[in-house]
Amino acid sequence: VGERSLNALLAIALVGLAALWAVAGSLAEVEQLARSAWAGFLLVVSWPNVLYPIAATLLAMIFALFPGLSGATLMALAISLTLSWDRVPLVLVFGAFVGGATFMGSVTAILFNIPGTAASAATLIDGHPLARQGEARTAIGCSAASSALGSSFGVLALVALLPFLRRAALAFGPAELLMMTVWGLTTIAVITQASVVKGLVTTGLGFLLSFVGQDPRTAEPRYTLGLLYLWEGLSLVPIVLGIFSVGEMLDLATSGRRTISGKTRADQLSGSVWSGARTVFKHPGLLMRSSAIGTAIGIIPGVGGTVASFVAYAHAVQSAGDRRRFGRGDIRGVIAPEAAHDAKDGGSLVPALAFGIPGSEGTALLLAAMVLHGLVPGKELLTEHLDLVFALIWSLFLSNWLTSILGVALVTPLARLTVVRTQLITPVILVLTAVGAYAFRNRIEDVVVAFGFGFVGYLLKKHGWPRIPFVIAFVLGNLFETNFLLTLRLQSLDRIDVFTRPLVLILGALTLVNLASPFVRTRRSARADEE
Amino acid sequence: MIRLDERSAVSALLVAVAAAFLAGTVGLSPTARLVPLTVVVPTLALAVAQLALDLVSRFDARSGRHDRPDAIPSERVADDDIAPDDRRRHEVALLSWLLVLLGLLALVGLRAALPAFTFLFLRARAGESAALSAVVALVVLATIVALLHTLGLRDFEGLVWSLVAR
């Protein structure tokens, strides 16, 4: 399917949404939304309220620069500190935390090949090669522009979808969520490496590691090796830190490269932040489609953010005419995941606000903070406290733009990091990794796990085993297991028939297409070579 | 022709890990092992298949027989010009440094081990001046203290300080 056809499809979908609005939305509903949106906007921009999202965004950006310390860590810490706060500053601060950390996670992915969050991992595929070619400024500029525009799309979609939240999210039951997880993972496994087999093996191993700990239903210890530490299961932070941070530093330090970019002076770096930002406007269709993908996947509870950026990346590759530069520093490989990554923030608030089902770790903590302040998700929140909901949305919007603007402002000093000698960077990153792993749960065992997985990550990278599916499968393991068992149970009780559910069938077909596509393309290519 | 090298050894290691997970399901109740078994069986089968591909020389990656032409080489090893022997030497040195870091952590705890490691690495491995190494180590120490204080974390003391305290 060509790019033009895909753009037309997106336009039709947007027109369809507008038509749905015209048919289903009453004038009173529109008026109420507009009033609440304005009231929420005034809450954000009034003095001194405007300081809350700005300060929270800066704090989240600083936190996100430390490996392992994400916006979620900051939110967890902030819950207890904000217990006595009023509701307005609370939603402003937490809204900004949700949006503030994502961009910096992408910056570390571009500069050091270390994603700040699992969702930023898609950005490193093309972002880091650009940094290695001395084009870090272009990549960061592009990332900033894509993030800002993607988040705007997500926020607008969230506002447009508010009246239809309930109906949309109810379409996803356990069977659909299970298939969504499987589809997302096969997409990741297929796109991120030359060998599909290797991608699927690391996906399986990621799942298996997520099963370490007590069984969620029987509390029976699984794969704990008799160690008390493993009863709680392995946690994501030391694994991500090890696989990417330590693994990447080992690779960098043993590669013989003097600096990340191969350049020794900042004036040798090419590209500029504006050329990066301009490239986004050269690919408006890709930006819009990726934002739509991010928003749509972000809406699905639990799966959202992690899968969105990879599906958008896969879409960028599949819809591109010339695919040869992907993985070697194609700017389209930065636009797509960045737009989707930030657009999903708006989408992930949909199930969180409507049903109290978090779409990500960040929204889970946001919900916890809101519930502690008597803001219970559901009909009441979306009717009686709609102005607060909009304050949250505006705060998220503001923080997304603020991170991009600050990112652009800081791009030159950040890009200079790519000309710092690797021998200087290596101990600093290793030490920060140790601190990050320890700080997460205050356990020294996590540091050992991080360094152990660092060695594994290095070996995987060295021998062409993809690390990204491994980490994403680990993240989605619990969701997979829960929905797998629920689906089996519901099927055995005749409550559902998975073979007659349209979404399950569509997602199943897409999964098969994913698995078959590499072989089909190989055959086609072989045939073309013969001819 | 069967070819044994580091690449095959990594594949064999992953087969062993998958097999260990399979063995770990023995003794679990049917409820607890259902999902792990569903995952581990195909994973093990695929890992064995990959190992076989690596071992059989006709599927050697150098011949490009099983490379996808449209593949995204997303995680290629660094495009460095370093000789394999030099790389191996660097690997051994780096792993030794990681062990030094873990050893220091176990012995003297976070607050002392991390700045000490930074200083030693910069001086001995990177060949930086003592002044620069000390400055970076002090910055690391300040960051750790600030972070532990801000996050309200308990410092890990290490064996030596624990014994001294007793």
Q: Classify residue A318 as exposed, middle or buried by CB count within 10 Å of its CB (0-12, 13-18, 19+).
A: middle
Residue B71 and residue A466 in contact, taking contact as beta carbons nearer than 8 Å = no
How far apart CA A29 and CA A286 sit, in angstroms, is 33
User: How much is the pLDDT for A473?
Assistant: 83
How far apart CA A244 and CA A530 sit, in angstroms, is 40
pLDDT at A468 over 80: no
CA dihedral A291, A293, A295, A298 (to 10 degrees): -130
Structure tokens at B144: 């750790």
Instruction: Look at B87 and A421 and tell me if their CB atoms are within 8 Å.
Output: no
pLDDT at B62 over 60: no
Higher pLDDT, A450 or A180: A450
Instruction: Look at A438 and B110 and tell me if their CB atoms are within 8 Å.
Output: yes
- Which pTM does this prediction carry? 0.73
Instruction: Look at A255 and B78 and tell me if their CB atoms are within 8 Å.
Output: yes
B-contacting residues in A 167-186 (Cβ below 8 Å): none
The pLDDT-based confidence of A353 (bands split at 50, 70, 90) is confident
The owner of tokens 């960045």 is A338
Instruction: Look at A256 and B81 and tell me if their CB atoms are within 8 Å.
Output: yes
Structure tokens at B111: 């607050």
pLDDT at B130 over 70: yes
B-contacting residues in A 5-64 (Cβ below 8 Å): none
The owner of tokens 């932070």 is A237
pLDDT in tens, A169-190: 566 788 888 887 888 778 767 7
The pLDDT-based confidence of A125 (bands split at 50, 70, 90) is confident
Asked if B72 reaches chain A (Cβ–Cβ under 8 Å), the answer is yes
A-contacting residues in B 113-132 (Cβ below 8 Å): 114, 117-118, 121-122, 125-128
pLDDT at B59 over 60: no
pLDDT at A26 over 70: no
User: How much is the pLDDT for A38?
Assistant: 85
Higher pLDDT, A71 or A286: A286
Query: Which amino acid is it at A429?
Result: I
Q: Return the half-sphere exposure (C-beta side, CA atoms, 13 A cut-off) of residue A276.
A: 31
Q: Which range has the worst mean pLDDT, A83-87, A221-225, A323-327, B68-72?
A: B68-72
CB count in 10 Å sphere of residue A23: 7
User: How much is the pLDDT for B114?
Assistant: 92
Categorise residue A442: left if φ over 0, alpha if ψ from -120 to 50, beta otherwise.
left
Give A459→chain B minimum CA distance, Å.
7
CB count in 10 Å sphere of residue A34: 11
Asked if A76 reaches chain B (Cβ–Cβ under 8 Å), the answer is no
User: How much is the pLDDT for A96?
Assistant: 84
User: How much is the pLDDT for A5?
Assistant: 65
Tell me what percent of the residues of chain A surpass a pLDDT of 90: 6
- Picking from A70, A201, A211 by the largest number of B CB atoms within 10 A of its own CB, the best residue to mutate is A201
pLDDT at B78 over 50: no
Determine which helix (DSSP H) or strand (DSSP E) holds A214, and give its type and residue range. Answer: strand A213-214
pLDDT at A166 over 60: no
pLDDT in tens, A128-154: 888 888 888 888 888 888 888 888 888
Compare all CA atoms of chain A with the CA of B124 and give the residue at the minimum distance. Answer: A423
Q: Tell me the torsion sign for CA atoms A133, A137, A138, A140.
A: positive
Residue A421's DSSP bridge partners are: A259
pLDDT in tens, A187-205: 767 765 557 888 889 989 9
Q: How far is CA A494 from CA A366, A490, A497, in A?
A: 36, 6, 7
User: How much is the pLDDT for A194?
Assistant: 57
The pLDDT-based confidence of B77 (bands split at 50, 70, 90) is very low
- Picking from A77, A231, A234, A254 by the largest number of B CB atoms within 10 A of its own CB, the best residue to mutate is A254
Residue A359 and residue A305 in contact, taking contact as beta carbons nearer than 8 Å = yes
DSSP state, A116?
Answer: S
Best mean pLDDT range from A206-215, A338-347, A478-487: A206-215
pLDDT at A76 over 70: no
Give B155→chain A minimum CA distance, Å.
8
Residue A339 and residue A283 in contact, taking contact as beta carbons nearer than 8 Å = no
The pLDDT-based confidence of A58 (bands split at 50, 70, 90) is confident
User: How much is the pLDDT for A67?
Assistant: 57
This complex has an ipTM of 0.86
Compare all CA atoms of chain B with the CA of A458 and give the residue at the minimum distance. Answer: B77
Give A127→chain B minimum CA distance, Å.
10
Instruction: Look at B50 and A195 and tell me if their CB atoms are within 8 Å.
Output: yes
Among A327, A424, A434, select the one facing B72 at the smallest CB separation.
A327
Residue A144 and residue A92 in contact, taking contact as beta carbons nearer than 8 Å = no
Q: Classify residue A529 as exposed, middle or buried by CB count within 10 Å of its CB (0-12, 13-18, 19+).
A: exposed
User: How much is the pLDDT for B71?
Assistant: 41
**A264: phi then psi, degrees, rounded to nearest 5:** -110, -15
The owner of tokens 């600083």 is A62
User: How much is the pLDDT for A24?
Assistant: 59
How far apart CA A334 and CA A313 sit, in angstroms, is 8
pLDDT in tens, A370-420: 877 888 776 677 777 888 888 888 888 888 888 888 877 877 777 777 777
Higher pLDDT, A31 or A2: A31
Instruction: Look at B101 and A430 and tell me if their CB atoms are within 8 Å.
Output: yes
User: How much is the pLDDT for A44?
Assistant: 83
Query: Which amino acid is it at B96?
Result: S
DSSP β-ladder status, A213-214 and A221-222: antiparallel
Instruction: Look at B31 and A217 and tell me if their CB atoms are within 8 Å.
Output: yes
Instruction: Look at A193 and B74 and tell me if their CB atoms are within 8 Å.
Output: yes
pLDDT at B119 over 70: yes
Among B17, B36, B66, select the one facing A195 at the smallest CB separation.
B66
pLDDT at B63 over 50: no
> What value does the mean pLDDT of chain A take?
79
DSSP state, A421?
Answer: B
Region B23-44 average pLDDT: 92
Compare all CA atoms of chain B with the CA of A431 and give the residue at the minimum distance. Answer: B114
User: How much is the pLDDT for A163?
Assistant: 67
Measured in whole angstroms, the distance separating CA B149 from the mean position of its chain's CA atoms is 29
B-contacting residues in A 77-106 (Cβ below 8 Å): 77
The pLDDT-based confidence of B65 (bands split at 50, 70, 90) is very low
Determine which helix (DSSP H) or strand (DSSP E) holds A184, and give its type and residue range. Answer: helix A174-191
Residue A148 and residue A407 in contact, taking contact as beta carbons nearer than 8 Å = no
| CB-CB neighbors (< 8 A) of A439 in chain B | 147-148, 151, 153
Determine which helix (DSSP H) or strand (DSSP E) holds A21, and give its type and residue range. Answer: helix A3-24
Higher pLDDT, A36 or A529: A36
